[in-house]
Amino acid sequence: MQSDWFKRPDLGEQSWWDELKKIGTPLIEQSDKDDGTARVSFIWQDPEPDAKQSNTQRVWLNLTGVNDHHQCMYPQSLERIGQTDVWALEMNLNRTYRGSYVLMPSSQDSDYQGPADDMLSVRTWWQSIFSHAQADPLNHHRSWTGGRGIPSSALHMPDAPDQSIWQSVDEGANITGDIQLTQHHWNSALLENSRRVWTLCFGQSTNQRPLAIILDGAFWIEQMPLPIPLSQLTKQSKLPSDAVYLFIDSVNSAQRAQELPCNPTFWQAVQHELLPQIKEHTPYSQDPERTIIAGQSFGGLASAYATLKFPSIARNAICQSSSFWWPKKQKDNLDGTLLSELEQHQFSRLRRRFFIESGNGELLIQKANQHVIELLKAQGHALISRTVTGGHDAMCWRGGLTDGLCALWAN
């Protein structure tokens, strides 16, 4: 261990823990390498102070885009320092990285035994221990729960892209009454199901207000409250003063996997059922040139698909960490359904605009993304594309989502 924290004579004593809790973890310190990285220390306190009495044998670290279940590498565990109750792991990370992580204490004295280059095997092993996952209790930032119900903590490196607009959320702010957020119920005859949807409105109630459709709406309302930064950006005149945002719940993982990937019935239901229902009480502009659809992962694929297949709904898409590989998640797969349809020029020549983003830790997604970008450019569509230092992660998506809304509506 390189950090001076682990060289102190009071290591593991109450005075050491009290001081650490005031600072918060992970510890981010100057690296001894001149390579654009900083040293990061992940720390966990064993509830049993006596190492000989403790049942904990491993404390696995799943850090998105670095050593998580999307990487071909051996899982890493924190290590107990001597006979103390201190578990720690140090690593050097790019100073521009941002992402989430979970800690998984385990009483099993065993490691992953399969090959590191077998992503499916590595992923299956991680899934077998996710039930042990916990957010970092020493992390001062707000924790959140992802789609699999896994509690996560945030890591913001010193030179990560600016997300100051999210600071109040990180400090625990919740949606308050001055934000005009309304929950509705959508009973769909076409989809034969029902779900919650929300509208967030700004400005005067007119039929000239631009519309943004946000997929995975429950997450962006309940776990990562997007209305808070949207309200601040609107006040700063970085977003339209009179916009309407429609958040659509995905209900559950199985329904999400059925409805979002290239599903025409879902978008027919949105067009012919949901949007008319919303317009009855929330006027907005039906001009597709001013309408944006935004999503991540399957939602990113859905945003691109809807914008290409249903240009009468929207001609602007925010596509983050998009699953353009679908339906076959295989290494080097460039045979996704949407990719093939683009290659065959199956969509109209109407010009669309795309904001496409992925993390440099998403190797399969990045490769498919690049091919989509090339095809869209060749067919005359407008693009803003960027790669962030991170992975398949809402901590990256939230910054790209607000940036994408600002960029597409600015133009």
pLDDT tens readout for residues 387-397: 999 999 999 99
Neighbours of 97 (CB within 10 A): 28
Q: Is the pLDDT of residue 147 over 80?
A: no
What is the reported pLDDT for 363? 86
Same domain, yes or no, for 300 and 370?
yes
Same domain, yes or no, for 291 and 330?
yes
Same domain, yes or no, for 72 and 115?
yes
What is the reported pLDDT for 333? 63
Average pLDDT, the chain: 95
What is the reported pLDDT for 73? 84
Look at 70-79, 146-155, 329-338 and tell me which has the smallest mean pLDDT: 329-338
User: Do residues 383 and 377 lie in contact, with contact meaning Cβ atoms separated by under 8 Å?
Assistant: yes
Instruction: Write down which residue in 105, 138, 156 finishes a domain.
Output: 156
Alpha-carbon gap, residue 310 to 320, rounded angstroms: 19
Percent of the chain with pLDDT over 70: 99
User: Do residues 78 and 89 lie in contact, with contact meaning Cβ atoms separated by under 8 Å?
Assistant: yes
Instruction: Write down which residue in 137, 156, 175 finishes a domain.
Output: 156
Q: What is the pTM of this model?
A: 0.95
- pLDDT band for position 149 (50/70/90)? confident
The continuous run of DSSP H or E covering 294 comes out as strand 292-296
**CB neighbours of 146 closer than 8 A, spacing ≥ 6?**
100, 152, 219, 223, 394
Look at 64-73, 163-172, 370-379 and tell me which has the smallest mean pLDDT: 64-73
Same domain, yes or no, for 73 and 184?
no
Q: Is the pLDDT of residue 148 over 80?
A: no
Q: Is the pLDDT of residue 331 over 70?
A: no
Q: Is the pLDDT of residue 68 over 90?
A: no
Task: Please tell me the number of Cα atoms within 13 Å of 269 on its side-chain side.
Answer: 17
Number of domains within the chain: 2
pLDDT tens readout for residues 161-190: 999 999 999 999 999 888 999 999 999 999
Percent of the chain with pLDDT over 90: 86
Can you tell me the mean pLDDT for 270-281? Answer: 97
Strands (E), 10-109: 27-30, 37-45, 58-63, 76-80, 86-94, 98-106
Same domain, yes or no, for 303 and 389?
yes
Q: Is the pLDDT of residue 71 over 90?
A: no
Alpha-carbon gap, residue 90 to 40, rounded angstroms: 6
User: Do residues 327 and 305 lie in contact, with contact meaning Cβ atoms separated by under 8 Å?
Assistant: no
Written as six digits, the tokens of 338 are 């949407």
Q: Is the pLDDT of residue 48 over 90?
A: yes
Same domain, yes or no, for 27 and 140?
yes
CA distance readout (Å), 45 to 2, 13, 131, 140, 158: 19, 11, 19, 15, 25
Instruction: Write down which residue in 156, 191, 211 finishes a domain.
Output: 156
CA distance readout (Å), 338 to 277, 302, 344: 29, 10, 10
Can you tell me the mean pLDDT for 213-226? Answer: 97
Same domain, yes or no, for 179 and 132?
no
What is the reported pLDDT for 119? 79
Same domain, yes or no, for 54 and 134?
yes
What is the reported pLDDT for 160? 97
Rounded-to-10 torsion of CA 159, 165, 169, 174: 180
Same domain, yes or no, for 142 and 176?
no
* Residue appearing with tokens 């001597």: 82
Same domain, yes or no, for 81 and 121?
yes
- pLDDT band for position 332 (50/70/90)? low
Write the CATH number for 138.
2.60.40.10
pLDDT tens readout for residues 89-112: 999 999 999 999 999 999 999 899
Q: Which range of residues forms the domain containing residue 265?
A: 164-410
What is the reported pLDDT for 391? 93
Alpha-carbon gap, residue 283 to 210, rounded angstroms: 10
Q: Phi first, then psi: what are they for 133, rounded to 5°? A: -65, 140
